[in-house]
A = this chain, B = another copy of it.
Amino acid sequence: MKIAIVSGKDEGPTKLNAFDNALTSAGIGDVNLIKVSSMLAGNAKIQKLPKLKAGAMVNCVLSEITSDNPGDEITAVIGLAIGEELGCVVETSGINRTPTELIDEAKEMVKYMMDKREVEIKELIIEYSTTKVENIASCISSVVYLNDDIVE
């Protein structure tokens, strides 16, 4: 299993467009995202996001937060734990909660998931995106599941 880890943020004239712009800034704006729940095969390989085919169907775990309240601090966090037998992904996001607080939350949740499955963590990775809202803004972080069908 090959995955890429990305994040992005941007403003936009509507919530939908801010979200779309954030996806584009993360390199996944031109594909169809299919949200899946959060498990990795054993020894998942992390790669740089390749160029994806426009309109491809792409499985991902997506952490997303969008706000149209100027001044809000918004943060979207993804936490990954890679193990030999399997891996786990958690997503968390918040408005006016510090990135540190959300990152700690993500770490604890993903550690707990691995403990519960009795799988040793070989690598723990946090990816996040945070911004202060000017007008309408969106932050996203994502684990993208790669396969040959979706790569250009």
Contact = CB atoms under 8 A, between A and B. Distances in A.
A13 B109 CA distance: 8
Contacts of A112: 12-14, 17
A34 B31 contact: no
A19 to B, nearest CB: 9
Contact of A55 (B57, B87, B105, B116): B87
Given A14-B109, A16-B109, A17-B113, A85 B54 contact: yes
Interface string A32-50: 1111111111101000000
Interface string A94-122: 00000000000100110011001100000
A34 B33 contact: no
